[in-house]
Homo-oligomer: A and B are copies of this chain.
Amino acid sequence: MAKKISRNTFIMEDPPSIHSYASVAGKMESEGPMGQYFDETEQDGYFGQKTWEKGESELIKRTLKKAIEKGGLVPGDIDYMFSGDLLNQCISSTYGLRDFEIPMFGIYGACSTMSEGLALASLMTDSGIGGKVAAVTSSHFCSAERQFRFPLSYGGVRTPTAQWTCTASGAVILSPKAAAPYVRAVTVGKIVDLGVTDANNMGAAMAPAAAYVIKTFLHDTAMEPSDFDAIITGDLGLVGSELLIDLLRTENIDISKQHKDCGLMMFDREEQDVHAGGSGCGCSASILCGYFLDKVKNGTLKNILFCATGALMSTTASQQGESIPSISHAVFISHESRFKENSN
Contacts and interface: CB of A to CB of B under 8 A. Distances in A.
A104 B4 contact: no
Contact of A2 (B51, B76, B129): B129
A91 B10 contact: no
Interface residues of A, number: 60
A285 interface: no
A327 interface: yes
Contacts of A79: 4, 7
B314 A98 contact: no
A53 B317 contact: yes
Interface in A1-16: 1-2, 4, 7-8, 10
Nearest to A98: B191
Contacts of A8: 80, 103
Contacts of A164: none
Interface stretch (A33-41, A107-115, A244-252, A260-268): A107-115
Interface of A: 1-2, 4, 7-8, 10, 50-51, 53-54, 76, 79-80, 84, 86-91, 94-95, 97-98, 101-110, 116, 119-120, 123-124, 127-131, 147, 188-191, 193, 312-317, 320, 322, 325, 327
B98 A193 contact: yes
A63 to B, nearest CB: 17
B190 A101 contact: yes
Nearest to A77: B7
Given A104-B189, A104-B191, A191-B98, A51 B90 contact: no
Contact of A89 (B88, B123, B124, B189): B88
Contacts of A314: 87-89, 91
A80 to B, nearest CB: 5
Given A104-B191, A106-B109, 20 more contacts: A4-B79, A4-B131, A7-B79, A53-B316, A53-B317, A54-B320, A54-B322, A84-B108, A88-B315, A89-B108, A90-B108, A94-B313, A94-B327, A95-B322, A95-B325, A101-B190, A101-B191, A102-B190, A123-B129, A127-B127
